[in-house]
Amino acid sequence: MVTGQIQAWAATTFQKNKGFRARNLKIFRELETTGTPACKGRLMVISGASGSGKSTVVKRLAEDLRVSPYVSISATTRPVRAGEKDGEDYFFLSREEFQTLQREGNLLESAEVHGNFYGTPAKPVLEQTLQGRLVILEIDVQGARQIKERLPDAVFVFIHAPDMATLESRLRGRGTDSEDVIQKRLENARREIAESHWYDHQIVNDHLDRTLGELIALWSGLITQGA
């Protein structure tokens, strides 16, 4: 179903943005002409407060050969953290570069999170969906809402830390953020958790292996439904 919705989204985007169509003509021709079966291409949206463990879980899922998902690489204006690589963890852009992508319709969704801009490049998501792979978007609740409006058949998963104290100690333990960034993320955490009620699945990330097991079970269910 998701594939059909992506076709509809792409068709609207064509009309609004001729430049985007021109740059991605090959993909859009395929979208318009192939009768891609509904079981092909699944989109899983994963959100959770900063420090809940989303990136860790998604990284582990990406290494699972059974699932072999395509994990979308977001564009962001946030500064690079130690150990992060441009084009692998994120596409690190200036505000001007980000706004150009946005203006030209190249982002599937975008949002301002913790004072920086983040967005999902549309092209690789479209390509990978067409190839029938599970596509994972690890994005905040504002972006997830935009995807829900455009592609309501995507599967929405919210990852929780066991409690706020654990969330805080994970944020500190990660050792990547300054104190004021940690405070901003904790403030935002309550707002994000309050949004979790509309997600299809809520997972408490207590033991990493159990969390992974739940996500893999979810993925197998999707494959079975689509078969």
Residues making contact with ligand ADP (CB under 6 A): 48, 50-56, 170, 173-174, 205, 207-208
- Give which of 100, 107, 131, 119 is closest to 27, Cα–Cα: 131
CB of 45 to ligand 5GP, least distance (A): 10
Rank residues 36 and 117 by Cβ distance to ligand 5GP and give the closer one: 117
Out of ligand ADP, ligand 5GP, none, which partner does residue 139 contact, by CB within 5 to 8 A per kind?
A: ligand 5GP
Q: Which residue is nearest to ligand ADP (CB)?
A: 53
- Judged by CB under 6 A, does residue 120 bind ligand 5GP? yes
Rank residues 24 and 47 by Cβ distance to ligand 5GP and give the closer one: 47
Reported as half-sphere exposure (CB side, CA atoms, 13 A), residue 142 has a value of: 13
Rank residues 6 and 58 by Cβ distance to ligand ADP and give the closer one: 58
3-state secondary structure the chain: CHHHHHHHHHHHHHHHCHHHHHHCHHHHHHHHHCCCCCCCCEEEEEECCCCCCHHHHHHHHHCCCCCCCEECCCEECCCCCCCCCECCCEEECCHHHHHHHHHCCCEEEEEEECCEEEEEEHHHHHHHHHCCCEEEEECCHHHHHHHHHHCCCCEEEEEECCCHHHHHHHHHHHCCCCHHHHHHHHHHHHHHHHCHHHCCEEEECCCHHHHHHHHHHHHHHHHHHHC
Q: How many residues bind ligand 5GP (CB under 6 A)?
A: 15
- Judged by CB under 6 A, does residue 125 bind ligand 5GP? no
Rank residues 111 and 154 by Cβ distance to ligand 5GP and give the closer one: 111
Out of ligand ADP, ligand 5GP, none, which partner does residue 120 contact, by CB within 5 to 8 A per kind?
A: ligand 5GP
- Judged by CB under 6 A, does residue 78 bind ligand 5GP? yes
Out of ligand 5GP, ligand ADP, none, which partner does residue 208 contact, by CB within 5 to 8 A per kind?
A: ligand ADP
- Judged by CB under 6 A, does residue 118 bind ligand 5GP? yes
Angstrom distance (rounded) from CA 96 to CA 76: 11
Out of ligand ADP, ligand 5GP, none, which partner does residue 78 contact, by CB within 5 to 8 A per kind?
A: ligand 5GP
**Which residues sit at the interface with ligand 5GP, rule CB under 6 A?**
50, 74, 78, 109, 111, 113-114, 118-120, 138-140, 142-143
